[in-house]
């Protein structure tokens, strides 16, 4: 298979992140014409400002053009394991709004941040884990009823064991795991091989972006210090694992180089 043809094949197999507002205000036709599968991010503003009819129009356009859809749930200022019942009520209200979008978009998966931050919650860890489990158990059930799967993503977790503390008790409820390489590099204190030893067998989805280890820059893969060859060699060795892959460059001009780099290391 020629490189150009292989690159097109890979593009058809991966997702590319984009906020809902950005998608509908300028990029929808571009995603459709170029055959780019979106991972659509919803924040509180989008959930408030756009209607179900808006969501239906966007979903129909994507599905009619045979594009695969994944969603990313809201996360800014949301604490799913908060000990404060009023805070959890706000989180649940936002999640209920998102469930309406899940019903319409029929995504392959719905990704959420765990909300865990050891600096903020260490002193109430048991409470946070307990309330978090209740929230994700409920949300996972709602999402499964809509034909999709809830996936939890690492963000501020320094060590892989921190996200496993949240994830492992939820596996029996159908919750799955997303490994975000950029967050691991920017916020973690264990190297990639250390993360893979702990979470590797549970990877259901990947969020791929790069940085220099100092900030969550969301460079295209291959533009920072993350060893993606190591990651894909690991996946190749695990013949039963073929995760959903989402590219998360935050600049349009980084997408093609990311795809070209992915073409070099793609194991399947």
Looking at residue 196, which CATH number applies to its domain? Answer: 3.20.20.150
pLDDT value, residue 1: 62
**Cβ-count burial of 26 within 10 angstroms (0-12 exposed, 13-18 middle, 19+ buried)?**
exposed
Q: What is the pLDDT of residues 22-35, one digit of tens each?
A: 999 999 999 999 99
Position with higher pLDDT, 202 vs 2: 202
Integer Cα distance of 238 and 210 in angstroms: 23
- 160: tokens are 């892989």
pLDDT value, residue 3: 77
Cα angle, residue 135 at apex, residues 90 and 241 outer, rounded to 5° = 125
Mean pLDDT taken over the chain:
96
- Of 98-112, 156-170, 239-253, least confident by mean pLDDT is 239-253
Q: What is the pLDDT of residues 201-246, one digit of tens each?
A: 999 999 999 999 999 999 999 999 999 999 999 999 988 789 999 9
- The count of domains in the chain is 1
Domain encompassing residue 20:
3-265
pLDDT value, residue 141: 98
pLDDT value, residue 98: 98
């Amino acid at each position: 298979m020629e490189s150009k043809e292989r690159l097109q094949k890979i593009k058809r197999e991966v997702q590319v992140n984009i906020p809902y507002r950005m998608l509908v205000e300028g990029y929808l036709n571009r995603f459709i014409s170029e055959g780019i599968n979106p991972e659509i991010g919803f924040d509180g503003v989008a959930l408030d400002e756009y209607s179900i009819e808006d969501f239906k129009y966007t979903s129909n356009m994507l599905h009619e053009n045979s594009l695969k859809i994944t969603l990313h749930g809201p996360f800014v200022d949301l604490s799913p394991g908060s000990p404060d019942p009023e805070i959890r009520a706000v989180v649940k209200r936002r999640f209920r709004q998102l469930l309406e979008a899940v019903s319409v978009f029929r995504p392959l998966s719905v990704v959420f941040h765990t909300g865990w931050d050891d600096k903020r919650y260490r002193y109430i860890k048991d409470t946070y884990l307990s309330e978090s489990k209740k929230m994700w158990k409920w949300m996972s059930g709602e999402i499964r009823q809509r034909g999709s799967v809830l996936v939890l993503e690492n963000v501020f977790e320094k060590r892989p064991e921190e996200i496993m503390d949240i994830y492992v008790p939820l596996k029996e409820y159908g919750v799955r795991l997303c490994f975000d390489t950029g967050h691991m590099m920017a916020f973690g204190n264990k190297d990639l091989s250390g993360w893979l030893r702990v979470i590797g067998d549970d990877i259901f989805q990947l969020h791929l972006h790069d940085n220099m280890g100092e900030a969550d820059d969301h460079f295209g893969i291959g533009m920072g210090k993350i060893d993606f060859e190591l990651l894909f060699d690991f996946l190749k060795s695990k013949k039963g694992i073929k995760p959903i892959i989402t590219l998360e460059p935050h600049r349009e001009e980084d997408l093609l180089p990311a795809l070209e780099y992915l073409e070099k290391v793609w194991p399947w």
